[in-house]
Chain A
Amino acid sequence: MATIDAAPPVPRRRSVWSTVLRNPSVLFGGSIALFMLIIAILAPVLGTRDPAEINPSARNQKPGYTAMVRDDEGKRIQVKYHLGTDSLGRDIYSRVIYGARVSLIVGITVAIIAVFIGLIIGMIAGYVRWLDGIIMRFMDGLMAIPEILLAIALVSLSRAGLPAVVIAIVIPQIPRVVRLVRSVVLSIREEPYVESAITVGTPTPTLLFRHVLPNTTAPLIVQGTFICASAILVEAILSFLGIGIPPEVPTWGNIMAEGRTYFRILPHNILYPGIALALAVLAINMLGDGLRDTLDPRFAKRF
């Protein structure tokens, strides 16, 4: 009588996300990034003053300054400026809190747009052979212009404002995404399952969406995270140089630009938004590092 061997127990397949969430970098960076996101969303609740409110009697005050101001109904109330005020008497604490909104909006928008456009161009370059050379030479040219300089040149072309700044930051990022997507497409094309799909006559759009696109997801999530961090930094730099988002908008870069004049006596105007900015960039970069190590081990060896 033949004995039937018990089938080896099928290992329970752990979902990718549970591996990702165990990574310390993802946990640490992700929590800080989430915390910043919550601050940004809750800005109206957390902020003690209107970030644009000018109070001439409370200019250039140190952190912890308290003053009597009239509220909306005309009653005199006591207000504490937790992080002091700037040279127009605006509350630094509330401005830093609201600044998180602008930074995160810029970071996330830039990442999504750059990844989306880069994905389309990269798939075309990787798939349409005769366009590849033209597209890639153009991308090489764009990449030869240092990122921040290209963004600076692009903001000079139109009226300063959030959309112009977003576009100026997106364009230098696109070639990086295109290169990545193209390299994935080129390596996938050689895979046996793709060749067999071609042999059985799979139409190109189906091939791209069913076989190529899923392979780009992991590297693009990683790349998108790094783009987000870089975009937050470039936005702050543009605002700091006085050529980004208009100065009345509370962004971290704008608060710092405003604080430059009285920096010697009131360093907090630069210090606090600076800490917020550094923390946001650090957190998102760490999140990206962790995601790369867990989602995309092939690229983990690259710096």
Chain B
Amino acid sequence: MGGYILRRVLSTLPVLAIVAVLVFLMLRLTPSDPAAIIAGDYASPEQIEGIRERLGLNEPILKQFIIWISGVLQGDFGESFFYKKQVAELIGERLEPTLSLSVITILLVVLVAVPLGIIAAHNHGTWIDRFVMGFSVLGFSIPVFVVGYILIYVFAVTLDWLPVQGYQRIREGVGGWLLRLILPAMTLSLVFIAFIARMTRTSVLEVLNEDYIRTARAKGQTEIKVLIRHALANAAVPILTIIGLTVAILIGGVVVTESVYTLPGLGLLTVDAVLARDYPTIQAVILLFSFAYVLINLLVDVAYTFLDPRIRY
């Protein structure tokens, strides 16, 4: 198993390298001149040339890449054109809202979607099943921001139960922090609940036809135990795969949700950076999110070996 994990870890390295090259090239392929953007509207050509020299933009592209990537590996993403400070520092400030939102969303998804899928599979073919499936098709099609505004309208504007927008840092009080994240997390989780409930239902249904389920029932095991200990345990691998793969959609959803609820996280930073054509920040955020995506899928793959001892590579 150790050998497999090592090989799996090593196999992500080329992907990460290609992502880094792609993200780097994207910035270099822009028609606009970064030096001119940094210098501002009133700079002389000499000043622009000076900045270009300082940033190493006159170097050959391969050398520029090496300079950039060695900076990135040391946590130095360069200086933001727009905020005029280190991108790494900027990201540090914006990390908390994004992480909070993602963690609460994933918890919500797992707590709601998996039971929903099991219930649907258990009541296969009944109205409960059809209701869960219908809800999942619907949840999959309503865009995140539409969900967000509907929830705001119902819970914040009409009922006035929850705050509309904004964020409170966790050290300023856990209650206020959680209160402001309820609506964003509900918004973001809907599409995943739909997706994962559907996937759980399919996986559990497949497992429910197996002989060992019949055996478990025959020996008088309670249905709850059959569903959780036998069915879910065996259906866990495909469910986990889907959770890993949907992280990409989660990241996209984070950007939109933060924008709807004005949460000052990495998603909002991305949008602001694009509006300001702040390329170092765009580069850093894309790189960070992609690495997170690859690493989460790596963790998922490694988790398989623990969840399903039959998997041997």
Contact = CB atoms under 8 A, between A and B. Distances in A.
A49 B153 CA distance: 28
A274 interface: yes
Given A150-B286, A274-B146, A282 B137 contact: yes
Contacts of B242: 303
Contacts of A263: 149, 152-153
A214 interface: no
A145 B19 contact: yes
Contacts of B141: 278, 281-282, 285
B252 A147 contact: yes
Contacts of B274: 152-153, 155-156, 241, 243
A240 interface: yes
Contacts of B199: 303
Secondary structure call for the B interface: helix
Nearest to B26: A153
Interface stretch (A67-75, A135-143, A181-189): A135-143
A270 to B, nearest CB: 5
Contacts of A106: none
A267 B270 contact: no
A285 B150 CA distance: 22
B252 A146 contact: yes
A47 interface: no
A157 interface: yes
Interface stretch (B1-9, B58-66, B91-99, B287-295): B287-295
B275 A243 contact: yes
A282 B136 CA distance: 11
Given A147-B252, A263-B152, A157 B30 contact: yes
B143 interface: yes
B275 A242 contact: yes
A237 B143 contact: yes
Contacts of A137: 14-15, 18
Given A152-B255, A241-B255, A242-B275, A141 B22 contact: yes
Secondary structure call for the A interface: helix
A64 B283 CA distance: 47
A264 interface: yes
Interface residues of A, number: 41
A152 B275 CA distance: 10
A157 B62 CA distance: 21
Given A149-B289, A157-B29, A267-B153, A278 B255 contact: no
Contacts of A150: 286
Given A140-B15, A263-B149, A236 B143 contact: yes
B103 interface: no
A114 interface: no
B30 A146 contact: no
Contacts of B18: 137-138, 140-141, 144
B138 A282 contact: yes
A144 B145 contact: no
A110 interface: no
B271 A241 contact: yes
Given A240-B256, A241-B255, A263-B149, A144 B294 contact: yes
A146 B290 contact: yes
B23 interface: yes
Contacts of A83: none
B193 interface: no
16 contacts: A140-B15, A140-B18, A141-B22, A144-B294, A145-B22, A149-B270, A149-B286, A157-B29, A237-B143, A240-B145, A240-B259, A242-B271, A267-B157, A270-B146, A270-B149, A274-B149
Given A149-B255, A237-B145, A303-B198, 19 more contacts: A141-B21, A144-B15, A144-B18, A144-B294, A145-B23, A145-B286, A146-B248, A149-B286, A152-B274, A157-B29, A241-B274, A256-B149, A264-B164, A267-B153, A267-B157, A271-B150, A274-B142, A277-B146, A285-B141
- Which 8 residue pairs are nearest across A and B when measured between Cβ atoms? A141-B18, A148-B252, A282-B141, A274-B146, A146-B248, A156-B274, A146-B251, A278-B142
